[in-house]
A and B are shown apart, each in its own frame.
Chain A
Amino acid sequence: MKELKILGIVTVFTLILYWGVEPFAHSQMHKHVEGHDFTYPDLPAVKAKGNAENGKNLVMACVGCHSITSQNMPAPMDPVMSAQTYGVNPPDLSNIGALFDEKFLAHFLLDPAKVTKSKHFAMPPSAGSEQDAADIVAYFKSIAPKEVSPKEAYAAACGRCHANRYGHWTQLGDVPKTKSNIKTGVDLDALEFKKKLGIYQNKLADYMGKLPPDLSIIIRARSEDFLETFVEDPQSQLPGTAMPRVGLTKEGYEKVKAYLEETGDPSKPLREKTGPWVVGFFVIFAFLAFLWKKSIWKGHH
């Protein structure tokens, strides 16, 4: 039928056009980076078998800078003071055993700068031997919570450098709920928090070279493939970037991604729920319109 032939030609040209300006153009503009599913093949396997009991003793050296809140070990300094001392607030270690790769952590303890591939690293080598490193990792594994929420994963892996304003997250944690003075409109607590955050961000920017970007909507600003390979190894996508390799496991990354979707693409669940109804409506609409057209055109040909 002639109309179908015309439709075929229009469709073919439209699809060629789409292919050229979308998949093809983007494949030429962005280099392809092969991911390794967060397995870190450049790091050799750790032979030593970890002993959590022994690790527990060794960890006493860590809490000089880090907190382990789940084990009632508080941070020695508040985040702002920490940033003034180290450039960035050292992370809480309660759930790192659940989020980060074992092998990565062990090598990280032996030589942080090398493993993170970042010149910007305040932490010194912190394990004397592979055995010590394996013991410390075993300890963190033993205290790791079974379930880590997407937000906790983001806070642990990204949240000390990257704010997420759509998630009301700052490098100092959640934006606190404060009240303004009803007579003047002045909110002193909020101003105080802003000042603390400002000091932290200035220090962080000095430490990293610039303020790491807010990640509120990064899930739509970068392709899925870019984000995954970038987080796995920042240097692979942006050579020379100050961002360290963080060593997330695949599951840990999925958690972080879930949080980024929550803040950057919150309509996804509703979109998937509404879509079939709207498209279905127009399928029925088109079918009824076809019947109407047929009845109107009866006798015209």
Chain B
Amino acid sequence: MAHFDENARPFSHKWLNERLAIDTLKRVLSTEYWIPKNINFLWAMGMVLAATFGLLLVSGIFLLMYYQPNTQLAFDSVNYTIMSEVGYGWLWRHIHGVGASVVFLIIYIHMFTGIYYGSYKKGRELIWLSGMLLFVLFSAEAFSGYMLPWGQMSYWAGMVITNLFSGGSLHANGLVEWIRGDYVPGQAFLNRFFMLHVLLIPLAIIGVIVLHFGTLRIPHVNNQDGEEIDFEEAAELYKAGKVKESKVIPFNPVFLSKDIFVMGIYFILFFYLVFYHFEFAMDPVNFDPANPLKTPTHIYPEWYFLWSYEVLRPFPTDPGLIAFAFAQVIFFLLPFLDRSPNVAPASRRGAFKFWFWALLIDMIVLTFMGKLPPEGIWSTIGLVAAVTFIGLWIALPIITSKEKKL
């Protein structure tokens, strides 16, 4: 039984400490949570993502107060009620739309930072895996949210993507109908994606964010040189006042002060986009109300799904679906496919350096081709890029097992 001082004033420091161990919590989670000093601004992307998620959550709550999950009313509740009748409704919607797009840009930067510096190895596997789980959840969140305005692109993207679950020649139409709750996207479809978007997936995201933070605590954050740091020793040095000699800094306030500066720069860009350049995040086609009788000329997903869409598209149906499934899971396996023991920036890892840049450029090419109409030279480039993507992942264990130990 813990000791409780009967004379402690309620809610005084001592009173709280005895009940919540606030001093210990603060030490473990912030003032003595040690971060390597040898980092650059890319290490702030995690907090930038957390802040963007916060913006999405808050703007989403405001939108939720006026949105109508009804096929007859949804379009006008977004485009009329929220955009012209609700005070500053347009601002919340533009924050939500731009945020949904930009959050993926930051996720990709965050992922490629991890790949470049090898931050998924030697005790950091769970950081990578929980991060990938977040990527999948954010994708589901983005897709379900895209259904809600019930415009042409909502409807037809919903049709195309749920069709993938028929599994090509498996003809699992029963499964597709089960997912849609109808033969075609309709009221049942809209309602369930609304539920997923505002309740189930956000709950899961918040849970996995906590897990993602948790997985960082023991292996600690990686650093620019992949150096293995004795955190306890370095922490003692820091606490002894030798902040210059110590290789670590406390999360709060030293790391945080840099994070917040990076966030400030990021928010300038973010709100510039919200006020002056939001069209890139809000496809014009989705400003036509859903019309089951009229298929749009071009159907394409939002930019952040284009690369995986293009891994699917150039192949015949069945191999395409297999390639698509491959693209969805392969990033999860990265810690196990990279056979090299080296934790170091890609630039020092021989062939892996070329692999890294090849993957990045290949995914950008896939992204370009995913949006263009699949005709002529574009489909050929798309096919080559899709085969290259699969080839790169098959090559990864081979080139990394031959890598020299640093």
Contact = CB atoms under 8 A, between A and B. Distances in A.
B261 A28 contact: no
Interface stretch (A62-70, A107-115, A279-287): A279-287
A290 B264 contact: yes
B261 A297 contact: no
19 contacts: A6-B42, A17-B364, A21-B306, A21-B367, A29-B297, A29-B372, A165-B76, A217-B79, A267-B83, A267-B84, A274-B91, A274-B275, A275-B275, A278-B274, A279-B272, A285-B267, A286-B261, A289-B264, A299-B243
Interface stretch (A8-16, A46-54, A91-99, A195-203): A8-16
Interface of B: 37, 40-42, 76, 79-80, 83-84, 90-91, 105, 109, 243-244, 249, 253-254, 257-258, 260-261, 263-265, 267-268, 271-272, 274-276, 280, 282, 284-285, 287-288, 297-298, 303, 306, 360, 364, 367-368, 371-373, 378
Contacts of A301: 244
Contacts of A275: 271, 275-276
B257 A283 contact: no
Given A10-B42, A20-B367, 9 more contacts: A3-B41, A16-B364, A21-B306, A213-B288, A217-B287, A264-B287, A272-B275, A286-B268, A300-B243
Given A3-B40, A21-B303, A28 B280 contact: no
Given A18-B280, A25-B371, A220-B287, A297 B258 contact: yes
A278 B254 contact: no
B284 to A, nearest CB: 5
Interface in A259-301: 264, 266-267, 270-272, 274-275, 278-279, 282-283, 285-290, 292-293, 296-297, 299-301
A277 to B, nearest CB: 10
B275 A279 contact: yes
B115 to A, nearest CB: 14
Contacts of B261: 286, 289-290, 292-293
Size bracket, chain A contacts:
35 or more
A221 B272 CA distance: 22
B287 A282 contact: no
A22 interface: yes
A223 interface: yes
A301 B84 CA distance: 52
A151 to B, nearest CB: 16
Contacts of A272: 275
Contacts, number: 126
A210 to B, nearest CB: 10
Contacts of A279: 268, 271-272, 275
Interface string A206-233: 0000000100111011110000000000
Contacts of B267: 282, 285-286
Residue from the set B243, B267, B282, B298 with the largest chain A CB neighbour count within 10 Å:
B267
Contacts of A270: 90
A4 B39 CA distance: 13
A300 B244 contact: yes
B254 A297 contact: yes
A281 to B, nearest CB: 8
A84 B348 CA distance: 79
Nearest to A298: B243
A16 B371 CA distance: 14
A177 interface: no
Contacts of B298: 29
A21 B368 contact: yes
A193 interface: no
A283 B264 CA distance: 7
Given A20-B364, A267-B90, A6 B41 contact: yes
Nearest to B224: A2
A54 B383 CA distance: 70
B264 A166 contact: no
B244 A282 contact: no
Contact of B244 (A6, A286, A299): A299
B364 A278 contact: no
Contact of A289 (B263, B284, B378): B263
Sort A-B residue pairs by CB-CB distance and give the 6 closest, nearest first: A286-B264, A275-B275, A221-B287, A267-B90, A20-B368, A289-B261
A18 B104 CA distance: 13
Contacts of A166: 79-80, 84
Contacts of A22: 280
A217 B271 CA distance: 24
A270 B298 CA distance: 33
A300 B90 CA distance: 44
Given A25-B368, A28-B373, A289 B40 contact: no
